[in-house]
């Protein structure tokens, strides 16, 4: 169903925004300061609309989402719920059918023209995760110097790294450790 796919895409974007503002280390490097392009790349995961972006407007929400999602790998769903409920309240997330230009009617949980609207959207997508059986699929990358969170997409729940880059990095390091 389209509506569900839309929320799934918003969850992927929510995790990406959380990593953008919350991870101090990503893929082996110190995280760069988030840029307009970085935030726009995140939004492009869930909308085709061009959105004007001020980075500072996304920073507090992005960090809150990271705080919430970070509780999940340790199994502390209650703590995540507290943060997400607060975000839902402060952003006044509410379902609203919206239509931009020639796109069909679809559901948004905040005004897609402003940062608060997107944080409302991402908080809603995260709330759906917290209320589902998939909540245990949220993981933290196990590679050194990477704090990115990701959704384990494997059937047997065996994904340990956020990306093949981190997986390869870890393999090379293990190999080097063995051969010296
Ligand atoms: Zn839309
Ligand atoms: Zn990683």
Q: What DSSP string runs through 56-104?
A: HHHHHHHHHHHHHHHTTTTT-HHHHHHHHHHHHHHTT---EEE--TTSP
Question: What size, in residues, is the chain?
Answer: 180
Reported as a pLDDT band with limits 50, 70 and 90, residue 75 is very high
> Nearest ligand to the C-alpha of residue 109?
1
Ligand nearest to the CA of 50: 1
Residue-range definition of the domain harbouring residue 154 = 2-179
For 146, counting Cβ atoms within 10 Å of its Cβ (0-12 exposed, 13-18 middle, 19+ buried), the class is buried
Shortest-distance ligand to the CA of residue 144: 2
Ligand 2 centroid, distance to 140 Cα (angstroms): 8
pLDDT at 3: 61
Beta bridge partners of 25: 30
Coil, helix or strand at residue 29: strand
pLDDT of residue 121: 96
Ligand closest to 165 (CA) is: 2
Q: Rounded to the nearest whole angstrom, what is the distance from the C-alpha of residue 32 to the centroid of ligand 2?
A: 15
Reply yes or no on whether the pLDDT at 1 is more than 60: no
pLDDT above 70 for 22: yes
Q: How many angstroms separate the alpha carbon of residue 23 from the centre of ligand 2? A: 10
More confident residue, 146 or 113: 146
| Residue 168 or residue 1, greater confidence | 168
Instruction: Give bridge partners of residue 114 from the DSSP assignment.
Output: none
Strand ranges inside the chain, DSSP E: 25-26, 29-30, 96-98, 106-108, 138-140, 149-151
Q: What pLDDT, in 10s, does the model give residues 133-161?
A: 999 999 999 999 999 999 998 989 899 99
CATH of the domain at 54: 1.10.3300.10
Closest ligand to the CA of 145: 2
Query: 138 pairs with which residues across the strands?
Result: 151
Ligand nearest to the CA of 47: 1
Ligand 1 centroid – CA 31 distance (Å): 30
- Using the mean position of ligand 1's atoms as its centre, give its distance from the Cα of residue 20 in Å: 22
**Cα dihedral value 40, 118, 99, 37, nearest 10:** -10
Residue 100 pLDDT > 90, yes or no? no
* Mean pLDDT, all residues of the chain: 93
**CA separation for the pair 66, 148 (Å, rounded):** 9
Range scoring the smallest mean pLDDT among 24-38, 45-59, 72-86, 117-131: 45-59
pLDDT at residue 39 above 50? Answer: yes
Give distance in angstroms: CA of 64 to centre of ligand 1: 23
Which token pair is 71?
């509780």
- Count the domains in the chain: 1
Ligand (nearest to CA of 23): 2
Say yes or no to pLDDT of 163 above 70: yes
Is residue 99 over pLDDT 80?
yes
pLDDT for position 109: 94
CA 83 to CA 170: how far, in whole Å? 32
Q: How far apart are alpha carbons 53 and 62 in whole angstroms?
A: 13
Under the banding of pLDDT at 50, 70 and 90, the label for residue 2 is low
Average pLDDT over residues 49-58: 91
Q: Of residues 69 and 101, which shows the higher confidence score?
A: 69
**CA of residue 145 to ligand 2 center, whole Å:** 8
Residues facing residue 121 across a β-bridge: none
């Amino acid at each position: 169903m389209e509506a569900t796919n839309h929320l799934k895409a918003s969850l992927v974007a929510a995790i990406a925004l959380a990593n953008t503002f919350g991870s101090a280390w990503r893929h082996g490097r110190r995280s760069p300061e988030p840029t307009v392009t970085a935030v726009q790349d995140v939004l492009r995961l869930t909308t085709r609309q061009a959105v004007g972006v001020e980075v500072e407007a996304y920073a507090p929400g992005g960090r809150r989402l990271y705080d919430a999602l970070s509780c999940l790998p340790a199994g502390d769903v209650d703590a995540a719920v507290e943060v997400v409920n607060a975000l839902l309240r402060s952003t006044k997330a509410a379902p609203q059918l919206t239509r931009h230009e020639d796109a069909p009617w679809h559901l948004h949980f905040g005004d897609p023209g402003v940062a608060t609207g997107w944080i409302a959207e991402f908080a809603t997508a995260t709330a759906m995760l917290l209320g589902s059986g998939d909540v245990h699929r949220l993981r933290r990358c196990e590679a050194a110097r990477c704090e990115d969170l990701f959704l384990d997409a494997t059937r047997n729940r065996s994904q340990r790294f956020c990306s093949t880059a981190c997986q390869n990095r870890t393999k090379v390091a293990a190999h080097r450790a063995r051969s010296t």
